[in-house]
Amino acid sequence: MPVVAVTGYLGAGKTSLLNHLLRCPGARLSVVVNDFGTLNVDAALVAGQIDEVAAISGGCLCCLPDAGGLDDALAKLSHPRLRLDAILVEASGAADPIALARLIRFSGVERIRPGGVVEVIDAVEHFHTVDTWPDPPLRYAAATLVVIGKTDLLPNGERESMIERIRLRVRERNPHAQLVVARAGRIDPALVFDTATAEDPDDELPIARLLRDEAHGHREHEHAHAASVSLTGPVSPGALIDLLEDPPDGAYRVKGRVRVRGPKAERGYIVNVVGRMIHVAALPEPPQVGELVAIGMHLYPALAQQRLVAVAGAPAERPDAAGLRRLRRYRRLSN
């Protein structure tokens, strides 16, 4: 299960983004909210429209002893019985995204994988609060997706130049983060998680639907692009790892279910790339038909498709020892 960190300075728009994702049709999400003080305001804001919630109060997640019980919350929320699509961790505005990304990356909880760090930026206040030094802030380095919000509050003549200014500063620190401009966090949920079904689950109260109706007319968002290929045979592990290490231009996520020929038998794997983070897990059975998918706001679907088709077509009938070593290494690092 992907664990997605939602970070950003105080008031940047994290809760707005979270609420937007929670309204996504079919999404079964859990949220860990972290707030200062004993009263968790953000938890109150998201509670009721959510499948599972855990609140960590009393200090900043990454500074609390034992990370405030984050691992316990992740273990509980990732239980297969809950059949959730993703866990979102909303950090307090004071949290250090690098420390939080590390907590998730090195968590001892078995069923989770890092699902990216979504950094929300308030375009109006950014250069008065977060980015005030000559060097770009270190927090940019942790981000896989930067969501620039509140651009609607900027005067018309300044909007594009401010977006560009933020883009250049982020790029200086982190050439790989994907940037998207979105009002009130309205990003395409496909960037962040997959839903098991396209519709709201039958066994759930119709809260997401009611909230969507309420937000009617304000919930459009720019759509991400995707390219995919289905895999009827085994893939070459070398070609696969080449793709994961160097995803198609503009891809934010690459995911796949693949069959790979080993020295004795075929094995199945699930692969995920978010930003530059590669995660490989073994499947109990090799899939009969697998697939590879690339998703991104700035993806060129035709070019991405060519890359995926090339992986599907790379010779894979004979075991490739060097490719298998690379695949297994990523699998070990993902544990």
Ligand X SMILES: Nc1nc2c(ncn2[C@@H]2O[C@H](COP(=O)(O)OP(=O)(O)OP(=O)(O)O)[C@@H](O)[C@H]2O)c(=O)[nH]1
Residue with smaller CB distance to ligand X, 129 or 228 = 129
- Residue 122 beta carbon to ligand X: minimum distance, rounded to whole angstroms: 7
- Among the listed residues 15, 30, 178, 236, the single contact to ligand X using CB under 6 A: 15
Binding to ligand X by residue 100, rule CB under 6 A? no
Binding to ligand X by residue 103, rule CB under 6 A? no
Residue with smaller CB distance to ligand X, 153 or 205 = 153
- Residue 230 beta carbon to ligand X: minimum distance, rounded to whole angstroms: 38
Residue with smaller CB distance to ligand X, 134 or 217 = 217
Binding to ligand X by residue 214, rule CB under 6 A? no
Region 180-199 residues binding ligand X, contact defined as CB under 6 A: 183-184
- Residue 20 beta carbon to ligand X: minimum distance, rounded to whole angstroms: 10
**Distance between CA atoms of 85 and 89, rounded to whole angstroms?**
13
Residue with smaller CB distance to ligand X, 176 or 218 = 218
- Among the listed residues 153, 196, 205, 289, the single contact to ligand X using CB under 6 A: 153
Whole-number Cα distances in Å, 5 to 16, 96, 98, 146: 14, 11, 10, 12
Among the candidate windows 138-146, 150-158, 200-208, 297-305, which touches ligand X by CB under 6 A? 150-158
Binding to ligand X by residue 8, rule CB under 6 A? yes
Residue with smaller CB distance to ligand X, 120 or 316 = 120
The number of angstroms, rounded, from the C-alpha of 281 to the middle of its chain's C-alpha atoms is: 17
**Distance between CA atoms of 332 and 151, rounded to whole angstroms?**
42
- Among the listed residues 93, 116, 234, 296, the single contact to ligand X using CB under 6 A: 93
Among the candidate windows 55-63, 146-154, 227-235, 323-331, which touches ligand X by CB under 6 A? 146-154
Residue with smaller CB distance to ligand X, 68 or 149 = 149
End-to-end CA distance of the chain: 13
**Distance between CA atoms of 315 and 49, rounded to whole angstroms?**
48
Binding to ligand X by residue 10, rule CB under 6 A? yes
- Residue 284 beta carbon to ligand X: minimum distance, rounded to whole angstroms: 39
Q: Residue 273: how many CB atoms within 10 A of its CB?
A: 22
Under rule CB under 6 A, how many of the chain's residues touch ligand X? Answer: 16
Binding to ligand X by residue 115, rule CB under 6 A? no
Give the interface with ligand X as residue ranges (CB under 6 A): 8, 10-16, 42, 93, 149-150, 152-153, 183-184
